[in-house]
Structure 1
Amino acid sequence: MLPDPRAVLTRTAPVADATVRYGDGPDQLADVRLPAALDGSARPLVVVIHGGFWRDEYDRAHVSPLAADLAARGYPVAQLEFRRTGQAGGGWPGTLDDVAAGVLALPELVAEVLAVAGRPAAVGAPVLLGHSAGGQLALYCARRLPERVGGVLALAPVSDLAEAYRLDLDGGAVAALLGGGPEEFPERYAAADPRQHVPLQSPTVVIHGGLDRQVPPLMSRRYAAAAGTNCQLIELPDCEHFGLIDPESAAWPTVTAALRSLHR
């Protein structure tokens, strides 16, 4: 029997080293993981933005194995949480505003955690690692805050919100995020849709599995083709949606190599 690719969503990981708050709301926070001391070379802060089609039933817990693995590789990591659809203040514009506020605040907050732990380090512009809906949020932040983002690693991102609405991905997920379709709220799609903001300024790597049933691989192909020379597309023909966030999957070495390519 083949293993369940969704098993990573419930896999446990070590408890984070600290939790910091970038706002007063219960979900305006991030879990911080201290980097393992390896070769002494500086690695950028990685802000992990989880997927789950922006819905409140999914939170940052399911990317804990990913975050723990990256910390073991020497990266300071912050697992960003934010208000989601189904929660007060979630959707438009709260979800997007929360992620942008977190990305702005986390370098200083994580530097404070490192200093308290006796691990002072200069934490500059972070790399944003976003999966699925989190990939859309990462690409959105790179467009909104180009000087504050060092790079984007987008894993199976929902990179075209108008198309995702047309395809009715996850049963109305985009409509729940933005309040309706592109004909009803063109200004919201114009602000939030990564496909409408190309070419890119931030160095970006997009990785998509050929067996993905949650987000069509064609969406990433079209996005990367329009995104310009700052965007690299990597397709993994034998990978599905969840293998990209599973440190035990065959896809994981490709993910970590792509991350390294964004800070060499």
Structure 2
Amino acid sequence: MKRLIFIVLAIFLTCSFALSAQAEKLKRVSFSEVLELSSGSSVKKHSYGTHPSQFFEYWPAKNNAAEAANVIFIHGGCWLKDYDIRHSYPLSTALTQAGFNLWSVEYRRLGEDNAAWPASLNDVSKAIENILQQTNGKPTAVMGHSAGGHLALLATSKNYKYAEHIDAVIGLAAITDMQVYVAEDGSCNQAAKTLINTAQSDFNLAEADPKQQPLHHNTWLLQGSADNIVPMSQAEVFGVNNDNVNTLIVDDAGHFDMIHPKTDAWTVIIQQLNKELKP
């Protein structure tokens, strides 16, 4: 009888700890909370051009990198030079701990030399091409957050000559409808408008609008319902009957939950990556 009581108590405590761990998951985190996270460092830095921002960093999986699937990540930051690759280091660290090789891309951004549109898109496309030539032949996903999601979606469209070598494309709070986004108020919306205004006079907005492009055949949009920077409507523009684009809404998640490894949204991201890259 005592043994039975002990077993029941042990089960109760185990469940309690598990529920407590779930309850501690964060929601609606701020950008400053992301910056406060500790992180590791990459093992290699590769240049794909002569501009100081034309490089990517390689973070190998913690265990058996030779057999690990690959994630090519494009950071966000409203296409502005003020937000560089370093704020994504906690994400990079967490992805390697989850068993993925991480390739993190830096690119030219507003406020830097020679950053007029479509410089950022050209950079991301070129970086992905370079990375695909250095991977281990294992499954590969391209994933981007916010403005980085916008670039990731465009760079991997069906028109991209290396699209067939990419297994999945994942936009995290990605900006998908530029025509609507540039017409709305908000600091990032204004940055989007500035980005478009840097283009040449013969620019066609459709070329910078994922909604108007033939996206990769396996595209996923992960969006938080409490995002006040990229509204949920940006993940819903393709509708439910689009064969190429799938949408996952994370309840009560904010914009930066997508790049904070201690949130509910992060759990969904890892689950989706495992589903797409580790069948």
TM-score band, normalised by shorter chain:
0.7 to 0.9
Match of 1:20 among 36, 46, 50: 46
Give, in whole Å, the separation in 2 of the partners of 1:85 and 1:148. 30
Give, in whole Å, the separation in 2 of the partners of 1:11 and 1:132. 19
Match of 2:193 among 170, 175, 180: 175
| TM-score, scaled to structure 2 | 0.81
1:259 aligns with 2:259: no
* Cα 1:89–1:180 shift into 2, 3 Å: closer
What is residue 149 of structure 2 aligned with on the other side? 135
What is residue 181 of structure 2 aligned with on the other side? 164
Contact 2:182 2:189 in 1 (8 A): no
Structure number with higher relative contact order (C-alpha < 8 Å, ≥ 6 residues apart) = 2
Give, in whole Å, the separation in 1 of the partners of 2:193 and 2:34. 27
Secondary structure in 2 matching 1:166: coil
Written as runs of structure 1 = structure 2, the 5 A alignment for 1:227-238 is 228-238=242-252
What is residue 202 of structure 1 aligned with on the other side? 217
Deviations 1:23-47 (A, max 9, x none): 1211110111011225x89433211
Give, in whole Å, the separation in 1 of the partners of 2:252 and 2:269. 14
Give, in whole Å, the separation in 2 of the partners of 1:202 and 1:14. 33
What is residue 91 of structure 1 aligned with on the other side? 116
Instruction: Report the residue type matching 1:176 in the other structure.
Output: T
Instruction: Report the residue type matching 1:217 in the other structure.
Output: M
- Structure 1 stretches of at least 4 aligned residues deviating more than 6 Å after TM superposition: none
How many residues of Structure 1 are paired with residues of Structure 2 in the alignment?
247
Give, in whole Å, the separation in 1 of the partners of 2:58 and 2:40. 12
Give, in whole Å, the separation in 1 of the partners of 2:183 and 2:150. 16
Written as runs of structure 1 = structure 2, the 5 A alignment for 1:22-171 is 22-37=48-63, 42-109=67-134, 111=135, 121-123=136-138, 126-143=140-157, 144-145=159-160, 146-169=163-186, 170-171=188-189
Give, in whole Å, the separation in 1 of the partners of 2:209 and 2:119. 15
Contact 2:224 2:252 in 1 (8 A): yes
For residue 171 of structure 1, report the CA deviation from its aligned partner: 4.8
For residue 151 of structure 1, report the CA deviation from its aligned partner: 1.3
- Give the structure with higher Rg (CA): 2
What is residue 221 of structure 1 aligned with on the other side? 236
Unmatched runs of 5 consecutive residues or more in structure 1:
112-120
Give, in whole Å, the separation in 1 of the partners of 2:239 and 2:156. 15
Identity over the aligned pairs, expressed in percent? 26
Instruction: Report the residue type matching 1:188 in the other structure.
Output: N
1:193 aligns with 2:215: no
Give, in whole Å, the separation in 2 of the partners of 1:47 and 1:164. 25
Task: Give the aligned CA root-mean-square deviation in angstroms.
Answer: 2.4
| TM-score, scaled to structure 1 | 0.85
* Cα 1:77–1:10 shift into 2, 3 Å: same
For residue 122 of structure 1, report the CA deviation from its aligned partner: 2.8
Unmatched runs of 5 consecutive residues or more in structure 2:
1-26
* Cα 1:91–1:122 shift into 2, 3 Å: same
Deviations 1:107-162 (A, max 9, x none): 224x4xxxxxxxxx3356x3111000111011001114223432111111000111
Give, in whole Å, the separation in 2 of the partners of 1:171 and 1:3. 20
Secondary structure in 1 matching 2:156: helix
